[in-house]
Amino acid sequence: MTRAFQFNPGFQLGVATAAAQIEGGKVDSNWFHFSEIPGAILDGSHVKRANQHWELYEEDIALLNELGIKHYRMSLDWARIEPEEGVFDEAALERYRTEIQKMCDLGIHVFLTFHHFSHPQWFEKKGAFLHYENVDAFLRYVEKSLHYVADLVSDYCTVNEPNVYAVNTYFFGEWMRYKKSLRNTLQMMNVFIALHIRTYELIHQFRKERGYTNTRVSFAHHVRHFTPATSWPHDQWGARLLSFLFQEGLFRASAKGEFSYPFKNLANAEKGQYIDFISLNYYSRGATRCFQDITLSDVPKNDLGWEIYPEGLIEEARRCYALLPLPIVVSENGCCDNEDLFRPRYIYDHLRLMTKSELPFEAYYHWCFLDNFEWAVGELARFGLVHCDYETQKRTLKKSAHFYAQMIRDHGVTESSYAAYVEPCRYHRDEVNIVRDYEVD
Ligand code: BGC
């Protein structure tokens, strides 16, 4: 059987990052304050270190260029831009503009996210995304930022994974350490839906007034593939319910203005179209035991114990496409593989299925460009194509980075690159889980 394949003409390969996960520095943000709480971050690391990208961004852009990467998803850190309510830091905005300009000069296309899990602490104190009236502050920040970047960037993501942020904060009570509350989880999702729709309209209007006709906006929708753990009816209901609450209901409301219980139309949006492309972040499959989300045993897993199930990406993309047939961008896909033992296979397996499918996939952004601060897990989990030694901040290309660069050059995978990079890779089964290893230490 041939292992080689070619991407469709025009298909784009890029990499993704998020500001708070790579920039480092003393920034008055929710994640800075959360990192200060003893025990909040699994390995005791702090968001203030990360990759020092704020200072080292030119080195990182040079690496992108060396690898031939022409598509880069990044985010702005609102906490840097508006450190005090109503007070904007023009130098921070200029610095973001310079970074983006440098990429444009090298022909690197930027896909820009306005909220990727981090925001100013003053906003957190106001209740962040629990209150609809707080959306105005977000819109003000977006508009201010557009003055600095709108001429350089045409593709935008309003908000990254509203479902993940809401669930980790209020359903599991893990991020920011609030009391668990299903009510607040849903409320936050509702505010995010309204925020997305209003930001979508704002970005379009802003660029239209300045004569740009190529604006494309979406939100990065985290899709998990839910499957019933057994054929028992309650496991099947569990899969349907989780899939609706976490994904389909949120997608219908945010993308089309179609609301059904328990989603609420806080912005009084009309039915319509509020995305210009489908933007999906996909990592793993979850098995439902009643309404619990578990991981099956004896399946391939990454170092955090997440199942590797490439078919799930296609199935979830198909569902979204059935709801709204638009071009599909995989805005994140990747794996925690601390030794870089199986990442090339993970990438290959997902891209191969995407290429073979009937769906209009137009781009793939690998998560992540660099090993980075993995939220509450800290520096323990390495998702990068590029290794980072956090002590020295030295960047080293991993084997997967070379594979990625080769795929970009070949616009696909050749037999020889398959043999060199993918063939030697093996997935783990149950024996590896870095969180467990860490607890044993
Ligand atoms: C998030 C990233 C995160 C990645 C791996 C995604 O849900 O958008 O910020 O690092 O998953 O956990």
CB count in 10 Å sphere of residue 436: 11
Residue 92 lies in a domain: yes
Find out whether the beta carbon of 332 lies less than 6 Å from any atom of ligand 1.
yes
How far away, in angstroms, is 220 Cα from ligand 1 center?
11
Is 51 in contact with 108 (CB distance < 8 Å)?
Answer: no
Residue 287 lies in a domain: no
Structure-token pair, residue 294: 């578990």
* Atom of ligand 1 at shortest range from CA of 383: 5
Residue 285 lies in a domain: no
Residue 402 lies in a domain: yes
User: What integer pLDDT is reported at residue 430 of this predicted model?
Assistant: 59
DSSP 130: G
pLDDT in tens, the chain (441 residues): 799 999 999 999 999 999 999 999 999 999 999 999 999 999 999 999 999 999 999 999 999 999 999 999 999 999 999 999 999 999 999 999 999 999 999 999 999 999 999 999 999 999 999 999 999 999 999 999 999 999 999 999 999 999 999 999 999 999 999 999 999 999 999 999 999 999 999 999 999 999 999 999 999 999 999 999 999 999 999 999 999 999 999 999 999 999 999 999 999 999 999 999 999 999 999 999 999 999 998 899 999 999 999 999 999 999 999 999 999 999 999 999 999 999 999 999 999 999 999 999 999 999 999 999 999 999 999 999 999 999 999 999 999 999 999 999 999 999 999 999 999 999 987 555 555 455 433
Residue 230 lies in a domain: no
Residue 101 lies in a domain: yes
Find out whether the beta carbon of 288 lies less than 6 Å from any atom of ligand 1.
no
Residue 229 lies in a domain: no
Q: Which residue has the tokens 């089964």?
A: 429
Bridge partners for 328 per DSSP: 278, 361
How far away, in angstroms, is 260 Cα from ligand 1 center?
28
Domains of the chain: total: 1
Find out whether the beta carbon of 74 lies less than 6 Å from any atom of ligand 1.
no
Residue identifier of the C-alpha nearest atom 5 of ligand 1: 374
CATH number at residue 192: 3.20.20.80
State the residue range of the domain holding 213: 5-222+239-280+296-440
pTM: 0.97
Mutate to test the pocket of ligand 1, among 165, 330, 332, 373 (most ligand atoms within 8 A of CB): 332
User: What integer pLDDT is reported at residue 424 of this predicted model?
Assistant: 96
Residue 146 lies in a domain: yes
Q: Which residue has the tokens 């003393």?
A: 26
Structure-token pair, residue 243: 């899939």
